[in-house]
A and B are shown apart, each in its own frame.
Chain A
């Protein structure tokens, strides 16, 4: 991996809106060919960061390189190498799915086969339908089709499955995973931990405009495995956090001479790790 130039390299990125520091010294490196997830609560700076990478917004400070160019000054050739799937859109409502994919394909120097793209996002049956007639999930899949029709080297997906039913999410995940096999680098923002865990090679957790954790899903998950909570109830409630829960339970069993009353051994889920990282007080 170290011999390849990164698809995205961000150093000490700052973006302020008045007194609000939306992005506050953020560093990021996305390798070519990986699926990289950016996680964080609303207002953490995910969208601001991604929109700076996409060339929509200007940064206040720091350096940004996307496919070797500065998005702020990059031109058409650079735009033909990226794909952008925005958070929400209901444009071109009167065109059909096929017309819209064909229309956007015209902008690019090299494109995928239109029917293949439409099939890949599962809209073959809807190819002749006006886009205004699509459901929310179908509309998002069309957005992805428009994002990939120009054969991007790097695809940005901003919270792509918000509002999806579980089945739609599954098929969407399969679609994204298939893009990796084509060699497409994917930068995904989401606030679903399970989505990041399922799709991503690496996860960055963002809070207050900074990266607070960066690792593979397994390694971030391992953090969860380090400590368990043991609870029991012998008239009063006891709760103990420990790295060696088995030993604690054995001690308790000896102390109570058999069954421990109200015993619970609880390991935090990945979700808990994430919530711990982003400092969310309520669930």
Chain B
């Protein structure tokens, strides 16, 4: 293109394009700023798991009832892992499945596509902002559990190591599944209506709201197909005493299977997400 060399700004055109990683950070920053300015969503995302923990611990834990054989586990402690798991799913899967569907509708994705932003930077920004919100949410939930409901948090480093890898794998697979699922709703307006029932059903069958061992075995089998069950079980292995294995249907925490299944969902979500992702609305040619 020697012919355009007469234009005044062409000399600076040789400047390098900004790197994907730094643009991923820039997108993360914009996403996090946007998230915290949507006050209603902030309150919902952060308060929901705490509120649910309060309700379930209060309703089921009346008169000092506990879970399992003596000495028993206080209800607040038993439900905490489920609330951790559900919080991770809300902030990763539900958040992205709905927000990307909305952004496809309102032109965010279309506009970004026309810029020299690499697509990977967009996804890095989504993952970055999900991580930030999840970490804050977990901090608030665990603090509330310890201070308001007297749950004693684990002290062994091994348990926190389990927490870390289950949390990261759960968040990552939830995020990529959210990206992939965002193409399912027909429009941004219908996104919540499509996503929330799925999330709710998974919460009921995966041992978030009920004791997993008391669910019918066929329901346990169905739940085992989905990641939330494994996320919740992994978190129970962090927050419940070892003897609680007596009330686990499989009699084991199944860490190997948990890691394998969450990782498999991560890979499947990535492959499907990359293949089905659209920058424009369905009706937009």
Contact = CB atoms under 8 A, between A and B. Distances in A.
Interface of A: 3-5, 17, 32, 48, 51, 54-57, 67-68, 76-77, 79-82, 84, 86, 88-95, 99, 103-104, 106-110, 130, 146, 150-151, 153, 182-183
6 contacts: A5-B3, A56-B114, A92-B108, A95-B33, A103-B26, A109-B116
Contacts of A48: 285
Contacts of B115: 79, 104, 107-108, 150
Given A103-B30, A109-B13, A110-B15, 9 more contacts: A77-B116, A86-B107, A91-B103, A91-B108, A94-B33, A107-B18, A107-B23, A130-B37, A183-B8
Nearest to A78: B116
Contacts of A17: 285
Contact of A56 (B30, B38, B113): B113
Contacts of A90: 106-107
Contacts of A183: 7-9
Interface in B1-24: 1, 3-4, 7-10, 12-13, 15-18, 23
A233 B12 CA distance: 68
A3 B6 CA distance: 13
B190 to A, nearest CB: 18
Interface of B: 1, 3-4, 7-10, 12-13, 15-18, 23, 26, 30, 33-34, 37-38, 103, 106-108, 110-111, 113-118, 279-280, 285
A92 B34 contact: yes
A151 B9 contact: yes
Nearest to A33: B7
Contact of A95 (B9, B16, B30, B106): B30
Contacts of A182: 8
A109 B18 contact: yes
Contact of A86 (B10, B26, B34, B110): B110
- Give the most central of B30, B108, B110, B114: most A CB within 10 Å: B114
Contact of B111 (A32, A68, A86): A86
A160 B26 CA distance: 28
A77 B17 contact: yes
Contacts of A91: 103, 106-108, 111
Contacts of B107: 86, 88-91
Nearest to B7: A183
A73 B1 CA distance: 17
A130 B39 CA distance: 14
Contacts of A56: 110, 113-114, 279-280, 285
